A = this chain, B = another copy of it.
Amino acid sequence: MLKDTLQPLSQRLQREGLDALLLGPSSDLEYLAGLRLFADERFKGIVVLSDGRLFSIVPRLYREQMEAVLGPECPQALWDDAEGFLEKVTALWKDFGLHGKTVAVNDGVRAVDLLDLEAAVPGTRFINGHRIVEAMRLIKSPEEMDLLRHAARIADEAFSALLPFIRPGVREGEVARKLEDLLVEKGADGLSFPTIVASGPNGSNPHFMGKSRVLCEGDPVVIDFGCTFQGYCSDTTRTVFVGKASEEDRALYQVVLEANLAGEAAAREGSTAQDVDRATRSVIEKAGYGKYFINRTGHGIGVAVHEAPYIMEGNLQVLEKGMAFSVEPGIYIPGRLGIRIEDIVLVTDRGPEPLSHFTKEITIV
């Protein structure tokens, strides 16, 4: 994979006047090289130069993995635990003529390591380079679109199979675990993020991470979940009701559903990311719940579950076919409930293509 992505990346660095890009463990490296590095306290990175050369800096125990990805001829700064990484980096920095140059860093590099690096190679100018590979990932190829569709299909199947399991007396964590098992059973490689199951008042925290509340009759339950298929992510939210839904909750649900449909309809070539955000937000604002829609409408998706384009006010990125992002408006009323409905939408030349097919009509389980 790296062979195909290396040339476009080095050309991009040249165009932006950068001498090199340092990539830490990140979705960028998964995209560029199919390389999944475990992010921990041991520094690991790949440096790509604008002239197309590259080298890696990894602990010795990663030698085999790096050689499999980069080939045996690629220079590796293999460092041992007892010595640390800085000495090896300094030597390669010199070999590759990087002293005094401008080096971008991506979002996989830790600030503490950057501070140590800055001290080890003084004179090098480091800049925020998180947008460099992001820009390459923005438009999905037909193959990537198929992988996103496949991941969404697995998610649909798992969610359908989950419904009978949602009932009063079950804990949020049990529902989450069951759904994760079903995702794997239906063919997922793994999860794109830890499953969120937020019942009743817990739903008002969009990123709720608890597990312990027991589901009660009448609860709205926000279920936000995603899996990966060949490295590509799904991301879906449905809010279902346990046993019954009050008239008031049904009315709120309809507002969120209308907002979701308006946002998806706006996901067209030539519109902007901001247009999509405004489409969902104006529905919720008109219904009088604007202050309870506390986050952006969505985020792009691919090898990472959050990537460009971010669907929000102020983002004037023009939508093009091949872009993929979530449309996930919500109403979050502290202490009372949350309701969110989310699909991934592909921008195509036939219009918006939502990837989830599980019903968005109100579902009482």
**Residues of A near any B CB (own CB < 8 A):** 24, 36, 38, 40-41, 59-65, 81-83, 105-107, 109-116, 126-130, 177, 181, 184, 189, 193, 204-207, 209, 211, 294-296, 306-307, 310, 312-315, 332, 334
Contacts and interface: CB of A to CB of B under 8 A. Distances in A.
A206 to B, nearest CB: 5
B205 A295 contact: no
Contacts of A184: 177
A41 B115 contact: no
A127 B113 CA distance: 10
Contacts of A332: 61
A82 B314 contact: yes
A346 B127 CA distance: 43
Contacts of A129: 112
Given A107-B110, A110-B107, A295 B61 contact: yes
A342 B207 CA distance: 35
Contact of A112 (B116, B130, B211): B130
B110 A110 contact: yes
Given A41-B306, A81-B312, A83-B314, A209 B36 contact: yes
Contact of A64 (B40, B62, B204): B204
Given A40-B306, A41-B107, A61 B206 contact: yes
Contacts of A106: 112
Contacts of A206: 61
A128 B116 contact: yes
Nearest to A332: B61
B65 A205 contact: yes
B111 A127 contact: no
A262 B81 CA distance: 20
A81 B306 CA distance: 13
Contact of A296 (B36, B38, B81, B312): B81
A296 B79 CA distance: 12
Contact of A110 (B62, B109, B209, B334): B109
Contacts of A82: 296, 312-315
Nearest to A68: B205
7 contacts: A38-B207, A61-B295, A82-B296, A82-B314, A111-B114, A114-B115, A189-B211
